[in-house]
Amino acid sequence: MLLLLWLGSFLLAAALEHAPHASLWFPPAAVTFAGLYSVGWRAAPAVFVACVLGTYLTESANQDDLRLGVLASSSLVFALIHTGAYALPAMMLRRLAPSAPTELTLRAVSQFLLLGALGALLAAVLGAVGLNQTDLLEAPDLFELASAWWIGDYAALVTLAPVLALVIRWMGGTAGVRRFPAFEWGPWRLRKSAAGKLGLLFATTLAILVAYLEFSNSRALLVMLVLPVVLQLWVVHTESRASAQLGLLGFSLLTVGAAATVNVGNDALILQFAVISLAANSYLGLAVPALYAANQRLREQVSHDGLTGALSRSWFEDRAATELASLLAQGRPASIVMLDVDGLKELNDTHGHAGGDVALCELVQRCKERLGREDFIGRLSGDEFAIFLPGSDEAKAGGIVRAIQDQLLAPPVASLGRQVSASFGIATAAGNAATLSQLLQAADQAMYAQKRARRLAS
């Protein structure tokens, strides 16, 4: 299957040549890269044979006086260089990429784009030099040939490799086939919104290309292909990954198809740049949700206590100080409740520190069940917590504390075989310029006063 896929794409590339030995778009590069990445070295024999056969078929059709010796050596040289040039980045990517990626990250996109560029560069430079040495190519300017070769290979690779990797998986099954770095489509169907946006993208692209052909190949019109790039980013950020891939595939097919109908000459570089730019921006755009998720996880780690889920001390104090100043400026009250777990040392001695952790987590969870939407709890130290109650005067704060105490008297914690109890202290600010530190200190003193009163009572 890989052999047929490669040969078919090779013949297509031959039909898209815009200069001697330079194709606008060279799909075999994408087939080779995707095949070597997906199935590893098992793909190398098929790629090698395909290179030999492709070179023979093309040259035998283009030359009346076929030099078998030159063709034989050139076929082998091209096969070795092409397979080896793409094996290096494909195998590197296999080692760098996770075996079962779940999200498309900026790291995965960057690795694919950079390693793909490396493979295309190696294939172009070594291929031009090698085939020149075997007398198959007679290029007056090897640098110009290698540059055109490189950009043609890379344009097809970044456009087609992720899709071809999916095709290879579908053809060969999932056993032993590596997933392409998180470019999987996942569950997908074409929504009406996606269909409309893709239709607009393709219509805009087609209109620009038709205008280019009608108005004497005006290069200024090709520059307007920046518009489809913007439309594609709209698809990327609002629709599914599969829709974005379809947009990329359709755009590249339209540009290549238009170029195949007319001699674009030096304008081929503009088309190739547009394709590569749209592909790179698409993949980077698709990686943005993973970046947002990573930032959100980092934010959670910074703002919340990892054990209990309460706000961290610094986050609690910053938020509480800001809200307190705002409430007092509006003439509204605010209360602080200090609390800590009773008998935590005893819990740690009898159940280990894991038992103490359970008690702390249970305390926070039961407090949250009785707090309002605007209330929040933070962990200030090991067993000491604070609750900020915006808009609550002393009476309302007392009612919330009693509700929390009732919640703590609910069925005991199974793993501890007992209930979790806590001591509370309340401080309220209303109509004065109290600071957060003053409230915390007052609530702390009230909490310890309650502890002393309970010890004397016992």
The DSSP-derived string for 76-92 is HHHHHHHHHHHHHHHHH
How far apart are alpha carbons 148 and 297 in whole angstroms?
44
pLDDT for position 66: 59
Predicted confidence at residue 258, as pLDDT, reads 76
User: In the prediction, which pLDDT does 255 show?
Assistant: 86
Helix axes 436-457, 313-329, angle to 10 degrees: 110
Angle 123-126-129 (CA atoms, 0-180°, nearest 5)? 135
Q: What is the three-class DSSP state of 1?
A: coil
**Burial of residue 89, with CB atoms counted within 10 A of its CB: 0-12 exposed, 13-18 middle, 19 or more buried:** buried
Using the CB atoms, write b or e for 149-187: b if 16+ within 10 Å. bbbbbbbbbbbbbbbbbbbbbeebeeeebbbbbbbbeee
Q: Taking the CA atoms of the chain, what radius of gyration do you get in angstroms?
A: 33
Residue pair 69/122 in contact (Cβ under 8 Å)? The answer is no
pTM, full prediction: 0.68
Q: Contact at 8 Å (CB) between 62 and 201?
A: no
Residue 235 is predicted with a pLDDT of: 92
Q: How many CA atoms lie within 13 A of 413 on its CB side?
A: 20
318-324-329 Cα angle (round to 5):
135
**Using one digit for the tens of pLDDT, what is the confidence trace for 206-245?**
998 888 877 766 777 788 888 999 999 999 988 888 888 8
Residues of the chain with pLDDT under 50: 100
List the domains of the chain with CATH numbers.
2-293 (no CATH), 304-457 (3.30.70.270)
Look at residue 120 in the predicted model and tell me its pLDDT: 94
Closest C-alpha to 334, from 423, 407, 433? 433
Spell 409-423 as b/e; 16+ CB within 10 A means b.
eeeebeebebebebb
pLDDT at residue number 54: 84
